[in-house]
């Protein structure tokens, strides 16, 4: 049973579009997670520097 090449092409394009969308969503989730991790690290660093400054220790 032979299929029409145009039908096969359209089906492949639809599958590729679905994979691209899935990948985009996963990448957004990953970027959001990394962003929140980076922010929490920056906040901890700032709090540490403020604490050292309060104690009168030198902060570079």
Tens of pLDDT, residue by residue over 2-60, are 778 899 999 999 999 999 999 999 999 998 888 888 888 889 999 998 988 888 877 66
Give the per-residue pLDDT at 27: 92
Domain count, the chain: 1
Cα–Cα distance, 45 to 40 (Å, whole number):
9
Decide if 10 is inside a domain: yes
Which range of residues forms the domain containing residue 13?
A: 1-53
Sequence-ordered list of residues with C-beta below 8 angstroms from that of 53, at least 6 positions apart, any chain: 59
Give the per-residue pLDDT at 16: 94
Cα–Cα distance, 56 to 47 (Å, whole number):
14
Determine the straight-line distance between the first and last CA of the chain, rounded to whole angstroms: 74
Give the per-residue pLDDT at 26: 92
Decide if 33 is inside a domain: yes
């Amino acid at each position: 049973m032979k299929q029409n090449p145009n039908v096969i092409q359209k089906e492949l394009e639809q599958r590729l579009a679905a994979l691209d969308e899935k990948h985009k969503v996963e990448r957004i989730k990953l970027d959001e997670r990394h962003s929140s991790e980076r922010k929490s690290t920056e906040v901890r660093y700032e709090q540490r520097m403020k604490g050292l400054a309060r104690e009168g220790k030198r902060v570079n």
